[in-house]
Homo-oligomer: A and B are copies of this chain.
Amino acid sequence: MAGDPDRVRTSADIAAHAGTNPVVVRRVLGRLREAGLVTSEKGHAGGWRLARPPQQITLADIYLALDERLVDAREETGHSDCALEHALQHKVALVLEEIETLLTRRLSEMTIADLGDPGA
């Protein structure tokens, strides 16, 4: 879609291109729509379109829209009676937080328009 932003595509088209099912496409794009990244329209000339220029959509936008997380955000499941296990979970959580921050920073440096640029 980034390659030809003005074109409307149906979930069937996208599914065929991706080798998957239209319903799966609608599920995923539905979440991107909730995040304001794409729009959809029903009816005859309906389909999916980017909500803003591809230069203004980063991989971090998509990553966050789909709720992908390395960290599960549940540092304390609580039911452990072992102090060492708590310490482990806490330290690992701190590291994962640092990792997650770096990841989203890197992803936010890449727009989907960049994917077409040979140099980038």
Which residues of A approach B to under 8 Å, CB–CB? 2-3, 17, 59, 70, 82, 84, 87-88, 91-92, 95, 98-99, 102-103, 106-107, 110, 114-116
Contacts and interface: CB of A to CB of B under 8 A. Distances in A.
Given A70-B70, A102-B98, A87 B59 contact: no
- Tallying the copies of this chain within the complex gives 2
Nearest to A96: B103
Given A98-B102, A99-B99, A88 B107 contact: no
Contacts of A59: 88, 91-92
A37 to B, nearest CB: 15
Contacts of A106: 95, 98-99
